[in-house]
Structure 1
Amino acid sequence: MTPLACLLVPLLSACGGGESDDAPLTPPDYRLTARLPAAGTLCANLNQNDSCEPGEPVVSGEAGAHRLSASAPGLLTSPLLFIPRDPGALTLTHPAARLDDQTLTPTPLSTLLQTRVADGLPPAQALAELLRGLAPLQPGQGLAALAQLEGFNGALGELAVAARDDVATLPGLAAGERLHQIWQGLVTLLPELARHFAASPELLSQQSRLASVLVQQQPRALVTAGGVTTYTDGVDYLLTQEPADHPGQEASLGQAPLRYRKLDGQGQPLADNADQWECVEDLNTGLIWEKKLDDPHSPRDKHRTFAWALGNYVPTQEELDYACPEGEAICTTEQYRQWLDAQQLCGIQGWRLPHSRELMSLQHYGSLARQDGQLVSLDVRYFPDVGTTTKDFSGYYWSQTLTPSRRLESAPLSAIAHIFLGDDAGTDYATTVQNSDDANGLQLRLVAEVTR
């Protein structure tokens, strides 16, 4: 067998003349070509912070084709950021290359595409939606079609610059955030702009229309789980189709990105950058969730805990004492539900305890946000209100879903609680109720179903 082994594995040192198994492997070289639309700097924005920083693959120069290479795959898995030399020009982005040795051109349209990808849409779906919006211009197929629409890209850029430089557009926002909102608005308006440009090749006359769209909320999607939209066979993790021998991967789940809208006290939609809101509408499920307060004098305080009560199930005195050590008048989940109904928060009289699956729909498994120094698994742009408690379980929220999973522990009854804070954020836990020997008080976020 030795000669055969030497033929099959010539690098084995046992065959003589080979290198040591400990010899370092040569890292692969990843490459792409970027076409700079003007003089400036382009980088693979590894940390996606809207600036080119040391350590990121970068190239600077005049307009035209430039080569980038790196030994790490971040070059292919990170979006491109183009910063023009002219301070009055637009900063542009482009989705990640995903494949080696591609040629990419940042344009206003590629920036709209990256806006949708950053919102959580899989790249293929985001591109398909963008091309559908551009149908009046007969853009063709594939990513290259976006760069070929030079006239529309130029007009789109002029419109974005005009909106950015108009101080009446989204007043009070920093320039970077204002431009981000403009890109969001242009995504919403794209089919209308394409129809207009097809009839009359200009877009500046649409500035007032864009301004009217921008005063409305532009709900941003947010990818769930780890944001994985590609597949792996155990070696290559950038495959665009799921291998038959590696089924059930995350990208096959088809899970919709998280998408929310802020509501005022009467249940009316607010601008996405509103500083104050009372409820959050889930645009995927149609459910409306209460927003908690940071007010120790209010039952809606984000730090408050409650004893579980539902229908004929009432808490023990030990549970009441644990959840409400100060003898608070509103102490059980049912008392709080009745109180919130009486408040008609967001114009709603129909608040209830959420089911476990409904709480699970809020979990943002890819979250890197931190609250009170701990990981929080919610979209904190809409739910910045996961409070700590003086009890044992901060970030644990009651559901109305009962489970027999703790019967072997002699727990007569358990309800599933979902965890949104700390090391266990993103999981759930069967929590005993109606048990004097194991009293519990957890936090609470009520939900409502509203038909609009």
Structure 2
Amino acid sequence: MNLKFTPLACLLAPLLTACGAGESDETPIAIPAYTLTVNLPQTGTLCVDSNQNDSCDAGELEVSGPAGARQLQSQAPGLLTSPLLFIPGDPAALILMHPAARQDGQHLTPSLLSSLLQSRIAEGTPPHQALSELLAALAPLQPNQELASLHRLQEFNLALGELIMAVLTQNGAVPAPPAASSQTRVWPGLFILLPELSRHFANGGDLLDLQARLEAILLQQQPRALVTASGVSTYSDGTDYLLTDEPADHPGQDASLKQQPLRYRKLDSQGQPLPDNASQWDCVEDLNTGLIWEKKLDDASSPRDLHRVFAWEFGPYRPTQDELDYACPNSEAICTTQQYRQWLNQQQLCGIGHWRLPHAQELMSLQHYGSLHQQGGQTATLDVRYFPDLGAGANGFDGYYWSQTLTPSRRLESVPLAVITPIFWGSDAGTDYPTAVQTPSDVNALQLRLVGEVTR
């Protein structure tokens, strides 16, 4: 059958058929191709880190060669929504990261500042907020208000690299190739010190002058790895999960890895250690991570009551009125995570005045996957010898605890903002879940356990 085309039909023809060809067969719609221009800062390999494991894996789009501009092309939109990882050819050089291109249309160059920015985004800070905070910290260097300005601060990037290498190799040894994981522990402290570093550099100072300051901040952060052990001490053959010996046909189980076991210490209200058989204590020190955790009370009159729930408030994010009403149906004075943090700091519980909302990874470091404990008929994945304070949260989400970690890559359907909430009680204990916040159709208030660092 021959078709006659009107002028309008000819305009739409690329989406329908071949205009003027006189045929009815439809032309397939072409799959879009995404193109990204990247600049290799030196000889090395740059990849699209689609699984965000700080490694260039088989199947991930990559380009290698000397310094200069390169193009990456893919029909998968992940090219624009995944962060970039640059592994230098020089084994003594630092691994670099860069946030996802999104739709910025920029020529992207990984640098130490872009790596610091990506570390903030990976923690859950929204990209626009992370960039705004970073540029504010760099204000003495007068950067342009755009992502590309991070690379243009080349002299500061070089000085920053010298400082990081000095911290990572402070024992004077010749460094092995710096793994991204070894750099990860530097980022939080570096961000805290960044305003002082930029002022010092703008006034002609050498960043190495502040090495001791950075090291002191890092010691106050997380001096040890957060992931230490699973708490599993028995073996399984796929049927029986309580075997005392590892079956030959099921090798490599957690109990055989000889990881550092979960280790805790009870603290009194002043933060001083107590004997393990103490019947009263206020905080728990994790001897593996160096973190201090508050212990809840079974006291309905106290904000520390183990059943209390709170509306999520963190940084620029403020809860909706519905969330406040849900958390405090009786108009309680302390309704939000921020209000509780301020109150607990005023109490100087365990001698600590800097209690904070934990990262999801910090909360997950408390998971005891070998726990067989039942509390109220529900599985508990905290070591209840030190954390006997699990209970219903008065709203059906029992054992769910707020973190400060946003979930830009794990959004719930139709939910613009969600927070990772580890679960320690019930059928889902040992997992985490993205919980909606600031969403009128999905109002939530969850339990809360704050964290601090050792001060003695």
Normalising TM by the smaller chain, what interval?
0.5 to 0.7
Q: Which residue of 2 aligns with 1:417?
A: 398
Gaps of 5+ in 1: 220-261, 281-287, 291-335, 339-348, 363-377, 404-414, 429-443
Q: 1:42 to 1:184 in 2, by over 3 A?
A: same
Question: How far did residue 185 of structure 1 move?
Answer: 1.6
Rounded Cα–Cα distance in structure 1 between residues aligned with 2:391 and 2:210: 49
Q: Which residue of 2 aligns with 1:130?
A: 134
Matched, 1:31 2:35: yes
Rounded Cα–Cα distance in structure 2 between residues aligned with 1:110 and 1:126: 11
Q: Which residue of 2 aligns with 1:354?
A: 307
Matched, 1:337 2:292: no
Where does 1:77-116 land on structure 2 (aligned, <5 Å)? 77-99=81-103, 101-116=105-120
Q: Which residue of 2 aligns with 1:17?
A: 23
Question: How far did residue 7 of structure 1 move?
Answer: 5.5
Q: Which residue of 1 aligns with 2:362?
A: 381
Q: Is the 8 A contact 2:222 2:291 kept in 1?
A: no
Q: 1:426 to 1:394 in 2, by over 3 A?
A: farther
Question: How far did residue 168 of structure 1 move?
Answer: 8.2
Rounded Cα–Cα distance in structure 1 between residues aligned with 2:151 and 2:271: 39
Question: How far did residue 74 of structure 1 move?
Answer: 0.7
Rounded Cα–Cα distance in structure 1 between residues aligned with 2:157 and 2:215: 19
Matched, 1:398 2:400: no
Rounded Cα–Cα distance in structure 1 between residues aligned with 2:18 and 2:87: 54
Question: How far did residue 92 of structure 1 move?
Answer: 0.5
Question: How far did residue 78 of structure 1 move?
Answer: 0.7
Q: 1:151 to 1:354 in 2, by over 3 A?
A: same
For residues 418-452 of structure 1, what are the alpha-carbon distances to aligned partners after superposition, in whole Å with 9 as ceiling and x for unaligned? Answer: 56353996599xxxxxxxxxxxxxxx9886999x9
Q: 1:418 to 1:212 in 2, by over 3 A?
A: closer
Q: 1:6 to 1:199 in 2, by over 3 A?
A: closer
For residues 85-143 of structure 1, what are the alpha-carbon distances to aligned partners after superposition, in whole Å with 9 as ceiling and x for unaligned? Answer: 00000000011100164310111111111111111111111111111111111112211
Rounded Cα–Cα distance in structure 1 between residues aligned with 2:100 and 2:450: 39
Q: Is the 8 A contact 1:105 1:147 kept in 2?
A: yes
Q: Is the 8 A contact 1:354 1:446 kept in 2?
A: no
Question: How far did residue 56 of structure 1 move?
Answer: 1.1
Q: Which residue of 2 aligns with 1:156?
A: 160
**SS of match in other structure, 1:32:** strand
The one-letter amino acid paired with 1:353 is L
Rounded Cα–Cα distance in structure 1 between residues aligned with 2:23 and 2:265: 72
TM (norm. structure 1) is 0.55
Rounded Cα–Cα distance in structure 2 between residues aligned with 1:159 and 1:42: 24
Deviates more, 1:145-154 or 1:9-18: 9-18
TM (norm. structure 2) is 0.55
Where does 1:49-448 land on structure 2 (aligned, <5 Å)? 49-99=53-103, 101-167=105-171, 176-217=180-221, 265-266=267-268, 275=288, 279-280=292-293, 288=294, 337=298, 351-357=304-310, 379-383=360-364, 384-385=366-367, 393-394=378-379, 398-399=391-392, 401=394, 417=398, 420=423, 422=428, 426=433
Rounded Cα–Cα distance in structure 1 between residues aligned with 2:53 and 2:432: 25
Q: Is the 8 A contact 1:30 1:100 kept in 2?
A: no
Q: Which residue of 2 aligns with 1:313?
A: none
Paired-residue identity, %: 40
The one-letter amino acid paired with 1:337 is D
Q: Is the 8 A contact 1:30 1:101 kept in 2?
A: no
Q: Is the 8 A contact 1:263 1:277 kept in 2?
A: no
Q: Is the 8 A contact 1:265 1:279 kept in 2?
A: no
Rounded Cα–Cα distance in structure 1 between residues aligned with 2:450 and 2:164: 38
The one-letter amino acid paired with 1:385 is Q
Question: How far did residue 356 of structure 1 move?
Answer: 3.7
The one-letter amino acid paired with 1:354 is H
Rounded Cα–Cα distance in structure 2 between residues aligned with 1:8 and 1:124: 39
The one-letter amino acid paired with 2:360 is D
For residues 139-197 of structure 1, what are the alpha-carbon distances to aligned partners after superposition, in whole Å with 9 as ceiling and x for unaligned? Answer: 1221121111111111011111111122389xxxx954331111222111100101110
Q: 1:210 to 1:263 in 2, by over 3 A?
A: farther
Q: Is the 8 A contact 2:106 2:148 kept in 1?
A: no
Rounded Cα–Cα distance in structure 1 between residues aligned with 2:451 and 2:35: 51
Q: Is the 8 A contact 2:39 2:67 kept in 1?
A: yes
Rounded Cα–Cα distance in structure 2 between residues aligned with 1:210 and 1:67: 37
**SS of match in other structure, 1:112:** helix
Rounded Cα–Cα distance in structure 2 between residues aligned with 1:18 and 1:352: 72
Q: 1:379 to 1:352 in 2, by over 3 A?
A: same
Equivalent pairs counted in the alignment come to 299
Question: How far did residue 50 of structure 1 move?
Answer: 0.8
Question: How far did residue 28 of structure 1 move?
Answer: 1.1
Rounded Cα–Cα distance in structure 1 between residues aligned with 2:186 and 2:113: 13
Rounded Cα–Cα distance in structure 2 between residues aligned with 1:93 and 1:273: 31
For residues 39-58 of structure 1, what are the alpha-carbon distances to aligned partners after superposition, in whole Å with 9 as ceiling and x for unaligned? Answer: 00001100011111111110
